[in-house]
Chain A
Amino acid sequence: MYASPATLCAGSRMEPSVERIYREESGRILATLIRLIGSFDLAEEVMQEAFTTALEQWPKQGIPDNPRAWLVATAHHKAVDLLRRRTRFDSKRDELQRLAQLEQELSEAEQDVMRHDATSALSDDRLRLVFTCCHPALLLEAQVALTLRTLCGLTTEEIASAFLLPLSTMAQRLVRAKHKIRDAQIPYRVPPAQELGARLEAVLLVVYLVFNEGYSASSGDTAIRRELCAEAIRVGRLVCELLPAQEEARALLALMLLHDSRRATRVDSEGEVVLLEDQDRSQWDREEIREGLALVGSALRGGAAGTYALQAAIAAVHAQAERAQATDWKQIVGLYEALLRVQPSPVVELNHAAAVAMAHGPAEGLRLLDRLEGKADLREYYLLPAARGDLLRRMQQWNEAALAYRRALALAKNEATRSFLSRRLAEMEARALGS
């Protein structure tokens, strides 16, 4: 693995601009290089070399007018040089052919890069890269890792730490995926119209998983989790820009923005979980809410009715309530019912029961929770007893509530969650003694 420009140019005054260009442009540059060179590994290698050259040259000669075109051209030259040097020692027929082809393409490609800049051909490269990274012939975990590595420019170390895996495991996963792309010849292209729907679903799932990994309150480095959410939103935005007719993609972007808007208020200064109803709504990110609401509105009007659209609509109802008490719970119940039809799952049923409790009273909610008890997929899930505890608490049945919280505590693994449940349990025990 190589160093990122951040470490390469530590202490230098160039740092901000090269670092910024790396963050913003490396995915694009890599996407174009993969198309031109035809190999993930070689493209990564020469892109890093081009950035290293930039760090040497730009302080002396100034930043070029079009840094991206400069980097693509420099990397491309390096690829041709490298292949030329390698073929001298190892003159395989196909290598020589590839080299001749590359040299011929080089001048055309450079003109192409200079001419188009932000227009279609280069945008298409990033879209090609998204679809190749999220190809269903790759393991889902590998799709996620490869997307973060290539399109988002995260280092292997960062990805490993985000998923709490040893570096060697993550490195192996990436190597295996890149080899499969090469050896099984997974094409580098945007799928044709008749396959686009199914393939886009796979892309959206990867984006959703990346966001959830960053958003879920489970343990791990906060900075990297924030980075994952930001990257998921960035890729989501990219897909929406490049495939504007895809309503589900827009719904997913809305969903991510509306959840992300609450980021600052989800955990307090001591690192404790703050429930939605207790969050300081004045601290929610208004800009993300505004954009998220506009997106979910247009997605729903465009006919989106899938799981992202429904979840985004639920998030929108919360975002629109100025106070927790003003939440339109009846509408949320309706949306969860629709979600249960689209994607029935015990977790959705649990959320539905919680919404029913808010709309029609805790007793109604408890009745639904009773039906969920004993379902195999929920037996180990702390949220079921936690939800029961919450409803019993609202009904002021302190002893029963304490019992439920104790069961939840026995199942919960995450530290922040356990700490929250312990506080609730202590509160219930105190109330039970006092009553």
Chain B
Amino acid sequence: MQYLLLIYGNEEAVGKMTKAEVDGILQEYGEFTKSIAQSGHYRGGNELADTSTATTVKVRDKKRLVTDGPFAETKEQLGGYYLVEAKDLDEAIALAARIPSARWGSIEVRPIVPHDMP
């Protein structure tokens, strides 16, 4: 079974970190990614650019509406994700708990709904 581990954190706080702090976190992430790749759980994952770079697209009455944002008013923003293979929720939770951001932000664990390709 696959789960998406959504990583939420405070962008502003990350923005205020020193380079050494950011490097430390990046290194931790690198080690974590490597270890879940070796254990066979890793199926994909990426860091996302800040919400300030986000664009929202909607189509209404065949008309395309493009807007800047969203600029979430919540304290935590989606900053990245992992797609993992886990045998059950407990295993997915255990993986989520090892993501460095779990210690200051939060990780949302969402099961993937499988669909057969046409």
B111 touches A187 (CB 8 A): no
User: How many of B's residues come within 8 Å of A, CB to CB?
Assistant: 9
A185 touches B88 (CB 8 A): yes
**In the complex where A185-B1, A185-B88, A187-B88 touch, is A137 in contact with B93 (Cβ < 8 A)?**
yes
**Residue B73, interface by CB 8 Å:** no
B residues less than 8 Å from A184 (CB atoms): 89, 109, 111
B111 touches A183 (CB 8 A): yes
In the complex, per-residue mask of B97-118: 1 if CB is within 8 Å of any chain A CB, else 0: 0000000000001010100000
B111 touches A191 (CB 8 A): no
Question: Nearest Cβ in chain B — how far from A176, in angstroms?
Answer: 15
Cα-based distance from A186 to B91 in the complex (angstroms): 10
Question: Nearest Cβ in chain A — how far from B102, in angstroms?
Answer: 15
B residues less than 8 Å from A137 (CB atoms): 89, 93
In the complex, per-residue mask of B31-51: 1 if CB is within 8 Å of any chain A CB, else 0: 000000000000000000000
A186 touches B88 (CB 8 A): yes
Chain A interface bracket (under 10, 10 to 19, 20 to 34, 35 or more) = under 10
Q: Report the nearest A residue to B116, measured CB to CB.
A: A93
Cα-based distance from A184 to B2 in the complex (angstroms): 10
A residues less than 8 Å from B89 (CB atoms): 135, 137, 184-187
Cα-based distance from A175 to B29 in the complex (angstroms): 38
A residues less than 8 Å from B113 (CB atoms): 183
Cα-based distance from A297 to B88 in the complex (angstroms): 40
**Which of A137, A184, A186, A195 gathers the greatest number of chain B CB atoms within 10 Å?**
A184
B residues less than 8 Å from A191 (CB atoms): 90
Question: Nearest Cβ in chain A — how far from B11, in angstroms?
Answer: 27
B residues less than 8 Å from A186 (CB atoms): 88-90
Question: Nearest Cβ in chain A — how far from B109, in angstroms?
Answer: 8
Cα-based distance from A191 to B113 in the complex (angstroms): 25
Question: Nearest Cβ in chain A — how far from B75, in angstroms?
Answer: 22
**Which of A135, A185, A186, A187 gathers the greatest number of chain B CB atoms within 10 Å?**
A185
Q: Report the nearest A residue to B3, measured CB to CB.
A: A184
Question: Nearest Cβ in chain B — how far from A300, in angstroms?
Answer: 33
A residues less than 8 Å from B90 (CB atoms): 186-187, 191, 195
Cα-based distance from A185 to B2 in the complex (angstroms): 10
Q: Report the nearest B residue to A94, measured CB to CB.
A: B114
21 interchain pairs, CB-CB under 8 A: A135-B89, A137-B89, A137-B93, A183-B111, A183-B113, A184-B89, A184-B109, A184-B111, A185-B1, A185-B88, A185-B89, A185-B111, A186-B88, A186-B89, A186-B90, A187-B87, A187-B88, A187-B89, A187-B90, A191-B90, A195-B90
Binding site for B on A (CB under 8 A): 135, 137, 183-187, 191, 195
List 13 additional A-B contacts (Cβ < 8 Å) besides A137-B93, A183-B111, A187-B87. Answer: A135-B89, A183-B113, A184-B89, A184-B109, A184-B111, A185-B1, A185-B88, A186-B88, A186-B89, A186-B90, A187-B88, A187-B89, A195-B90
